[in-house]
A and B are shown apart, each in its own frame.
Chain A
Amino acid sequence: MDKTDFSGGSIPRRRFLELGLKSGIAVAVTPPLLTHMVSCGGHAAGLGRGLDADKECLDRVIAKALENGGEFADVYIEHRHSRQIIMEESAFRSGLYGISQGAGVRVISGDKTGYAYTEEITEENLMRAAQIASYVARNGKMVDPVPVKTVNRKSFVTVKMPLDVIADSERIEIMERANQAALDYDQRIRMAKIDYNDQVRSRVIANSEGLYIRDELPLLFFITEVMSDDGRNRHMARERISEHSGFELFEKDTPESVAERAAREAIAMLEAEDAPAGTMDVVMENGFGGVLIHEAVGHPLEADNIARGIGAFTGKMGKKVATDVFTMVDDGTIPNYRGTINFDDEGTQAQRNVLIEKGVLKGYMTDILSAKQLDLTRTGNGRRESFRHFPIPRMTNTFIEPGKDTPEDILADTPSGIYVQSLSGGSVNPVTGIFNFTCREAYLIENGRKTTPVKGATLVGSCMGVISNIDAVANDLAFGPGICCKGQMAEVTAGQPTVRIRGMNVGGSRS
């Protein structure tokens, strides 16, 4: 239950997006979604006048939510449509299309949260949800809600080729290209699975502080899995790309290139031998290796467990927790990145948050509740999987700042150990700080050189241990897309330059 999981394996019920909007270089789309989303008073509202009417309805819902007491209430309305196409064994096995909509009402009273949601968005149902959510606030402090007023914020998501003008035949073509490139790479490639996902999520957030904000976030996620088999060994490799973007993503990074990267790993790992076991030095290549930091340091810096007084970093603000070379940032505003959110699901502006600077703990990631409990500022990390969940502190794009070393020097300076090139995923217990991650592609380091590939080993460590043992950070920062699960899913990126960690426990089967 305390576990959080940065899953990389199969992706259940992933839903991704289509369609871009706001400050799009070429197009700004205003689909009619939001207008029929909020049909308060039982009638579909028109754009303009209708939205004003909606605001009055939202004021009534918020007032209802705070009727019994409570110091904060908000309404979150969401509409999402998603598309998934799967190509497996060179056939288009299935196409999925989904529409999901609903609205949740939350009340915060002291440390308590009440939450209820409805899938049929009418004023009557919102009022009922408000009433259920207000249950926790009995005998709580009373506040007068401020009438909601539109707030506009800058978007960090631009779209050149909105997906609503892309025919499904073009998606199919992209997938066929990836499939072919994987199979053509080597005759030992036995199977490819191409998993195309897009979605658009529209959200409206209104709260008792008078905020009313809305936007739409497109999201594209493209996954290739490639299996090699030489009759002796077998390896399933994976490569994924994802951005809040239009179809231009495939011009920046072609489907062939994505598939070939997966195929390269699949073939390279056919030669894998058993990994050694025990404590040794680890060099992690740049990119998705950032999962290490996401798990080991990121989750423990989410403020919910800090507010509960049980998080591994409780009481360490301003203290030296890592080596001087270690600076870590969470930034929800990196243009178009998968973890970019513009504003969080509570309406707080996303920003660049320095969490650890040159080894000193500078900040936690907060949502409205934990910021209030800890008397900290809101950092824009209050996120939720959907209207079915209330917000909790989550990461966005989390990374280690680049250092001065070169990746070549770090490797050459490491006489022996494990070189980790890609990971399947990992998890952490945010209270004890004990974390693990599983390698998908890794090599032995012998005399400062990458040598024999080794089978997927799990590496374990403790968060305090790992950040005080990172003794070299390179200048080659890169990111990888991920799905983070903390009771609810969130799309994130994890980033890091090549780093060296002294003394991790490697779960190999060779003594």
Chain B
Amino acid sequence: MNYLELADRLIGRGRRMGANETEVYIQHSRSLSVRVRNGDIETIQESDAGGVGFRVLVDGAMGFSHCNDFSDRSLSETLERAIAFARLTTPDKYNVFTDDMPHQEVAGLYDPEIAAVPMEKKIDMALEVEAHAMKDERITHSSGASFGERESEIIVANSNGMLKTWRSSACSVGVGVVAEKDSQRHTGWESSARRFFSDLESLETIGASAAKKAYEMLDPIMVKTQRAAVIFDPAVARSLIGGIIAAINGERVLQGASFLQDRMDEQFASGLLTLTDDGLREKGLGSKPFDGEGVPVQRRTLIEEGVLRAFIYNTYAAQRAGVESTGNASRAGFTSLPSIGTHNITLQPGRDSVQDILGNTKRGLLLKGVTGYGINPVNGNYSGGANGFWIEDGEVVHPVQGLTIAGSAATILPNIDMMADDIDLNLTLAAPTFRVREMQIGGA
């Protein structure tokens, strides 16, 4: 199906049906998921799917509808529903669709090879990564290994003359295992996701990492409730950074629901904290040429040495704030309205080595796993469940689990006192290891 032609036709149809402005968002995806366990296939799932989301404006009021049926009749009915809904909602002068702005292409977003690799090879990869993870004798069970791939084509068009498309691919391979000893059970999971098939990490590395995460947690010892340093592993950085990103969401700021709403250009965090968002990184899993409304994405510094430098906006929130969209409209597919999100977030690395940080920690928690909601973007509160390793006199002494950690943005972020140099830029939230000088830890 020629989606560009279809989108163009639907824009015209929207106008004839009574919409002042129409936006058409089409997504078509093909995906494959293979899951194996104990050396044999557990599930194979394949899909080829797509749909259309319509956003229309009638006298400044907005309606949205979506369907996954491309028949002419269904498309017209769905469009009509959006127009009917627009007659119901409140007119708002900030409801506008974006102009057609030129964007630059981003290299390395689509790999035709993924689809060309035979199914048997993908099954074999899942089997192999599982075999690597099961090698260690402390590993007693497999939770399963998988290979997944997805290709997606997105079209954004609107009645301001915009008609854009981009295509992407991604694939991943991962495995989960269980380490057992007496009545103890610990799980470990590792995966590698990339835009290009040939960039996937070695299956041996992935398998060994999953196994290590499981067995290294054996024989945890509880510690007492106390205040001590907490060292955040890169895998748990989201627990702190996620709340900051939510708090600089331009819409949340406008609603007065952000702990950072009044802090622009102020120092609110440690000078070691510099946070960037780069939508244009080559082969980045969060990269894209334009956002969910067709606005070109950017490379931006959000926090510079602890000073708040930017909020992030889609078109609506930007209009309301009296600024330009920052290219941060995000959509969870054709069924969703544009919200606000980031692309490839990087917490810039520092100069310390991980060993420096451990060595300089008299007593503390090396945090490997965290549960809970992270920093609450409304008021900055922080509380989570925690596991990892206990550190005494610069050395890891034993695993810990079932702990809690807590604080607030105001007490945690200014107290980041060491930033390591280990960073994996393949992640959409890339961060090095860093240390918070002191946090409340709940234990026995």
Q: Which residues of B contact A312 (CB under 8 A)?
A: 185
User: Shortest CB–CB separation between residue B221 and chain A, in angstroms?
Assistant: 14
| A415: Cβ under 8 A from any B Cβ | no
8 A Cβ contacts from B58-116 to A: 61-70, 74, 77-78, 81-82, 84-86, 88-90, 92
CB distance from B268 to the nearest CB of A (A): 16
Complex: A9 Cα to B51 Cα, angstroms = 26
A309 on the B face (CB < 8 A): yes
Residue pair B385, A458 in contact (C-beta under 8 Å) = yes
CB distance A310 to B141 under 8 Å?
yes
Q: Which residues of A are found within 8 Å of B141, using beta-carbon distances? A: 308-310
Chain B 144-187: CB-based contact to A (< 8 A → 1; otherwise 0): 10000000000000000000000000000010101000000111
A429 on the B face (CB < 8 A): yes
How far is the CB of A56 from the nearest CB of chain B, in Å? Answer: 24
Contact B143 A509 (CB under 8 A): no
Assess the B226–A310 pair: CB atoms within 8 A. Answer: no
State in angstroms the CA–CA spacing of A135 and B122 once bound together: 14
Answer whether residue A114 sits at the interface, using C-beta atoms and an 8 A cutoff: yes
With both chains docked as a complex, state the minimum distance between the C-beta of B79 and any C-beta of chain A, in angstroms. 10
Interface contact A120-B47, CB-CB below 8 Å: no
**B20 contacts the other chain (CB 8 A):** no
A2 touches B44 (CB 8 A): no
Tell me if A112 and B43 are in contact (CB < 8 A). yes
Instruction: Answer yes or no: A92 CB below 8 A from chain B CBs.
Output: yes
In the complex, are the beta carbons of B402 and A9 less than 8 A apart? Answer: no
B359 contacts which chain A residues (CB < 8 A)?
none
Q: Are B383 and A136 in contact (CB under 8 A)?
A: no
What is the size category of the interface that chain A forms with chain B?
A: 35 or more
Chain A residues positioned under 8 Å from B191 (CB to CB): 1
- Report the Cα distance A190→B332, complex, angstroms: 29
> At the interface, is chain B mostly helix, strand, loop or mixed?
strand
Contact of A432 with B by CB under 8 A: yes
Q: Of B77, B89, B225, which contacts A511 at CB under 8 A? A: B225
Q: Are the CB atoms of B381 and A511 closer together than 8 Å?
A: no
A436 at interface (Cβ–Cβ under 8 A)? yes
Contact of A190 (CB < 8 Å), options: B41, B256, B333: B256
A172 at the interface (CB under 8 A from B): yes
* A12 → chain B closest CB, angstroms: 6
User: Which residues 436-494 in A have Cβ within 8 Å of B in the complex?
Assistant: 436, 438, 455-462
Q: What's the Cα separation between A1 and B385 when bound, in Å?
A: 17
Closest Cβ of chain B: how far from A506's Cβ, in Å?
A: 6
Residue A168 is within 8 A (CB to CB) of chain B in the complex: yes
Q: A13-B336, A89-B255, A277-B441 are in contact. Are A509 and B408 (CB under 8 A)?
A: yes
Q: Please give the distance in Å from B27's CB to the nearest CB on chain A.
A: 12
Residues of B within 8 A of A279 (CB): 225, 442-444
A180–B77 CA distance with the chains assembled, in angstroms: 34
Task: Name the residue of chain A whose CB is nearest to the CB of B405.
Answer: A507
State how many angstroms separate the Cβ of A315 from the closest Cβ of chain B.
11
Whether B415 is near chain A, meaning CB under 8 Å from some CB there, is no
Give the contacting residue for B68; candidates A99, A111, A168, A172; CB below 8 A.
Answer: A99
Contact B379 A233 (CB under 8 A): yes
**Interface flag for B404 (CB, 8 Å):** yes
C-alpha spacing A312/B186, complex, angstroms? 10
Contact B372 A436 (CB under 8 A): yes
How many A-B contacts at CB < 8 Å in the complex?
Answer: 254
Most A CB within 10 A of own CB, among B82, B187, B405: B187
Min CB–CB distance B184 → chain A (angstroms): 8
CB contact between B67 and one of A100, A114, A234, A388 (< 8 Å): that residue: A100
A249 interface residue (CB < 8 Å to B): no
A508 and B383 contacting across the interface, CB-CB below 8 Å: yes
- Minimum CB–CB distance from B334 to chain A (whole Å) comes to 10
Interface residue A93 (Cβ < 8 Å from any Cβ of B): yes
Interface string of A75-112 (1 = CB under 8 A from B): 00000000001001101111111111110000000011
Choose from A91, A93, A118, A136 the contact partner of B44 (Cβ within 8 Å): A136
Chain A residues near B50 (CB, 8 Å)?
119
| Chain A CB within 8 A of B356 CB | no
Nearest CB of B to A119, in Å: 5
A interface, over-half SS = strand
The residue among A88, A93, A424 with the most chain B CB atoms within 10 A of its own CB is A93
Assess whether A460 is in contact with B402, with CB atoms less than 8 Å apart.
Answer: yes
What 0/1 pattern do residues 307 to 344 of A give for CB contact below 8 A with B? 01110100000000000000000000000000000000
Among A1, A85, A135, the residue within 8 A (CB) of B189 is A1
**Closest CB-CB distance, B409 to chain A, in whole Å?**
11
Q: Is A16 an interface residue (CB 8 A)?
A: no
Check: A510 CB closer than 8 A to any chain B CB: yes
Which chain B residues border A508 with CB–CB below 8 Å? 383, 404, 406, 440, 442
Of residues 182 through 213 on chain B, the ones whose CB sits less than 8 Å from some CB of chain A are: 185-187, 189, 191
Q: B42 an interface residue at 8 Å Cβ cutoff?
A: yes
Give the CA-CA distance A172 to B85 in the complex, in Å. 11
Assess whether B402 is in contact with A505, with CB atoms less than 8 Å apart.
Answer: yes
Cα-based distance from A483 to B130 in the complex (angstroms)? 32
Q: In the bound complex, how far is the Cα of B44 from the Cα of A312, in angstroms?
A: 26
The verdict on A92 contacting B88 (CB below 8 Å), with A116-B46, A431-B143 known, is yes
The answer for the CA separation of A507 and B381 in the assembled complex, in Å, is 11
Which residue of chain A is the closest to B224 with respect to CB atoms? Answer: A278
Partner of A13, one of B82, B226, B332: B332
Q: Contacts of A388 on B, CB cut-off 8 Å?
A: 47, 49
How close is A182's CB to chain B, nearest CB, in angstroms? 14
Contacts of B426 in A (CB 8 A): none
Known contacts A431-B178, A456-B383, A458-B385: does B88 contact A172 (CB below 8 Å)?
yes
Chain A residues with Cβ below 8 Å from B332 are 12-13
A96/B402 contact (C-beta < 8 A), A278-B444, A505-B442, A509-B411 known: no
- Which residue of chain A lies nearest to B379 when distances are taken between CB atoms in the complex? A234
Contact call A310/B143, Cβ cutoff below 8 A: yes
For residue A98, which residues in chain B have a CB less than 8 angstroms away from its CB? 65-67, 335
Q: How far is the CB of A311 from chain B (nearest CB, A)?
A: 9
Q: Are B45 and A115 in contact, with the CB atoms below 8 A?
A: yes
Chain A proximity of B43: nearest CB distance (Å): 4
Query: Please, which residues of chain A bring their CB within 8 A of the CB of B3?
Result: none
Cβ of B376 < 8 Å from any Cβ of A? yes
Query: Which of A168, A308, A310, A388 is most buried by chain B, counting CB atoms within 10 A of its CB?
Result: A310
- Of residues 221 through 253 on chain A, the ones whose CB sits less than 8 Å from some CB of chain B are 227, 229, 233-236
Query: Are the C-beta atoms of A99 and B78 separated by less than 8 Å?
Result: yes
Query: Within the assembled complex, what's the spacing in Å between the Cα atoms of A458 and B440?
Result: 13
Q: Which of B256, B259, B378, B383 contacts A507 (CB 8 A)?
A: B383
What residue in chain B is nearest A309 (Cβ atoms)?
B141
Q: Does B373 contact A438, Cβ atoms closer than 8 Å? A: yes
Identity of the chain A residue whose Cβ is nearest the Cβ of B81 in the assembled complex: A97
- Interchain nearest-CB distance for A5 vs B (Å): 9
Determine the chain B residues whose CB is within 8 A of the CB of A130 once the complex forms.
Answer: none
A432 touches B187 (CB 8 A): yes
| A376 close to chain B: CB less than 8 A | no
A202 to chain B, nearest CB (A): 14
B44 touches A135 (CB 8 A): yes
Q: Which residues of chain A have C-beta atoms less than 8 A from B443's C-beta?
A: 278-279, 505
The chain B residue sitting closest to A227, CB to CB, is B257
How far, in Å, is B249 (CB) from chain A's closest CB? 11
Chain B residues lying within 8 Å of A458, measured Cβ to Cβ, are 371-373, 383-385, 404, 406
Instruction: Give 12 A-B contacts (CB < 8 Å), ordered by A residue.
Output: A93-B90, A95-B85, A98-B65, A99-B77, A111-B42, A119-B69, A235-B378, A431-B185, A458-B371, A505-B443, A508-B404, A508-B440
Residues of A bordering B, CB below 8 Å: 1-2, 9, 12-13, 85, 88-89, 91-102, 111-120, 132-133, 135-136, 168-169, 172, 190-191, 227, 229, 233-236, 275, 277-279, 308-310, 312, 388, 390, 424-425, 427, 429, 431-434, 436, 438, 455-462, 505-511
Since A96-B65, A456-B383, A461-B402 are in contact, a sample of 14 more A-B pairs with Cβ atoms closer than 8 Å, ordered by chain A residue number, is A13-B332, A95-B62, A97-B63, A97-B64, A112-B41, A119-B69, A120-B69, A233-B379, A234-B259, A278-B225, A310-B143, A458-B372, A505-B402, A507-B405
9 nearest A-B pairs in the assembled complex, by CB-CB distance: A507-B404, A95-B85, A278-B225, A277-B442, A460-B385, A436-B385, A509-B406, A458-B372, A91-B90
